[in-house]
Structure 1
């Protein structure tokens, strides 16, 4: 049966490698210089911490980097996703399709903004939203397809745009494609475009663990829709002069350090890709593990390094493997991500009757041992050795099975 295991296992004093990195993008002296400059320029009572110029510069740089008309900064990815969905003005019964294997945030946002969440199956290789299964769930009430670039592997956004065009809503026209790029900032899609350049709107997160970070929180929304951009500007600043809104602005210090992080993003991502490819190569001879796909041209940024255990190990065997990694070898790992309706009460209640068996089976086989470019060579060697030894330990207790690919 599928497991309802939490994304983060119980803590243990035996860990020498944490369950996951606490920080994704790391800071250099350049970030510290930017912070000092922002602080020193904010001491005058006439100027203070007003950050409009800093934020505008960050937005302009991000729009240029992603190749989009508009980039709008928010204080978190969660609030940004909510505001993008709010701009749709969802009515009761309006449906938003999203992958069942996901972080809970986007799904909670759909529910919170009045939409009916419709869950679809993942692709068996990338675990991104499966276009074929999505098309089966498109209907006359579909208002949006919410696609996540899951764990850094780029989804084919163009294909979802084409699907939407073939299934227009009777009132609103083709469903919009909203992209969750929280874990794929700096990547490219199969079309060659930067992540953020395709779809109606793309939401990025700069939370602490993400590929770039602005003091642990922050977000950007990219879009080529001028009307949506104006709506979002009002929603983040008390509604402008006419509508509802609230304060969801990025601060001066966050924008200042964000400019530096953005300039270093490709360098940081390249280091992460190299580390992930090296780990994949080192583990390639372990028959029990299905390793993450090795994709070229920034199509996979490896926010996580996903492992799948054999189907015969699903749930119980996977959990035992994680426990052995932690308690016997000191290496932490998480399930990133479980099926959302199995691990969150609100989503479970909201999606009663929906069932995604492929998602449940894949999630029950999934674990993500800690990976970060700044881990030392000794730490990385410890993780690889621990994975090899722990798999061998569990293999003695589980049914023998050949390597599986999905």
Structure 2
């Protein structure tokens, strides 16, 4: 059906955004291994309900104004205190509350990157970040990951070659160093130190997306890149994975001059002040470390169930790195497998996953797939993997014959 908008010229910088991983499926019995969602049974609903009621009855008349009541200040203080656990010390003028960490990616891109500037990323990388860089009309270069995170040695070689041949140095390197999405790997300490040194030497920013660091299954802590070179890192985190994504609240920590420029782009003023009022009340009531420990125990068990199901259903047809935290397992099939070729067949059988090509800058990654273990229950994990395996082996049978 034609529309009057068919002849309208929208801005060319808006890229096409196809649906990813059958995310449009709405059947109630569908198993969404594609959704990077938190477990709904772990949301602190009762405390959140009490917090929302108090936010209205005690502070509502002020909290519903543009600047809010005392909630935003309390949330800011909580971020400062919790950041100390990760070795990050930040003054209040170095912190900006955002609509999730994804807005932090957008703001960092908008203040740093002009059309034609160079942005370097990991390969694979978070697809929403890639969208932000494409929309900014940046030149994007990617570098592979292995079991220890991104290949910093290849980044260094590329920087040396760029300098030698008078080619552009990146404005920005985007990384998810801890419990990578989608790769599930963690950047080693040695590589973190080397990457920080390169950012200082070559004068570029690191955009550090630390969305999953609280979900630590082993107890081993890695220093945030921000702690190694604070003036060259823009640090992102979020309440989406630890409280609930529907809050749409995250934060940026960076040099105060960076934060000041980001504030200029927040045309509507402070972010979600009434939501911050509710969150502030919740954080005062919630025994936070107990809450985190409960999340960790649950997600670690979910990871193990998914890993066991993959071994049982796929055998040696897939390999994967067992993540030390986060939400995801990244599958690798044989090089001649195209996961995009059976993603719809899997959806028809009742399970969604994200085919690998969605996470790459260039046309590659077809023999990979991302599975999320956080959202569905254990029985659904096992059944979903079996449905996916059925679609895969049917695809293999058809391509071989």
TM-score, length basis structure 1: 0.71
* 1:292 is the counterpart of 2:305: no
Instruction: Give the match's secondary structure for 1:145.
Output: strand
- Residue 265 of structure 1, CA deviation: 3.0
Which residue among 210, 224, 234 is the counterpart of 1:201?
234
Q: What number of residue pairs does the alignment pair up?
A: 353
Which residue among 1, 4, 11 is the counterpart of 2:25?
11
* 1:37 is the counterpart of 2:69: no
Instruction: Give the match's secondary structure for 2:47.
Output: helix
Specify the alignment match of 1:102 in structure 2.
125
Q: 1:381 to 1:130 in 2, by over 3 A?
A: same
Q: CA RMSD in A?
A: 3.9
CA distance in 2, matches of 1:269, 1:6: 30
Specify the alignment match of 1:65 in structure 2.
85
Which residue among 12, 20, 27 is the counterpart of 2:43?
27
Instruction: Give the match's secondary structure for 1:367.
Output: strand
TM-score, length basis structure 2: 0.71
Q: 1:157 to 1:111 in 2, by over 3 A?
A: farther
Structure 1 runs not aligned, ≥5 long:
342-355, 401-406
Instruction: Give the match's secondary structure for 2:59.
Output: coil
After superposition, the C-alpha distances for 1:112-159 in whole angstroms (9 at most, x for unaligned) are: 668x44312322557x53323322322342343221232353223652
* 1:213 is the counterpart of 2:238: no
How do residues 98-247 of structure 1 correspond to structure 2 at under 5 angstroms? 98-110=121-133, 116-125=138-147, 128-138=149-159, 139-140=162-163, 141-148=169-176, 149-151=180-182, 152-156=184-188, 159-163=191-195, 165-166=197-198, 174-187=203-216, 192-193=221-222, 195=224, 198=227, 200-207=233-240, 210-213=241-244, 215-223=246-254, 228-229=255-256, 231-232=258-259, 234-235=260-261, 237-238=263-264, 247=269
CA distance in 2, matches of 1:192, 1:46: 37
Which residue among 250, 253, 258 is the counterpart of 2:278?
253
Instruction: Give the match's secondary structure for 1:276.
Output: helix
* 1:276 is the counterpart of 2:299: no
After superposition, the C-alpha distances for 1:37-89 in whole angstroms (9 at most, x for unaligned) are: 323322345996423332223322332332211254222323322444556x5
Indicate if the aligned counterparts of 1:72 and 1:229 stay in contact, CA closer than 8 A.
Answer: no
Instruction: Give the match's secondary structure for 1:311.
Output: coil
More helix per residue? 2
- Residue 293 of structure 1, CA deviation: 1.0
- Residue 392 of structure 1, CA deviation: 3.4
Which residue among 60, 72, 76 is the counterpart of 1:52?
72
After superposition, the C-alpha distances for 1:2-56 in whole angstroms (9 at most, x for unaligned) are: xx97523363759521354474154122333333332332234599642333222
How do residues 362-373 of structure 1 correspond to structure 2 at under 5 angstroms? 363-372=365-374
Indicate if the aligned counterparts of 1:77 and 1:219 stay in contact, CA closer than 8 A.
Answer: yes
CA distance in 1, matches of 2:245, 2:214: 13
CA distance in 2, matches of 1:166, 1:196: 12
Structure 2 runs not aligned, ≥5 long:
1-16, 164-168
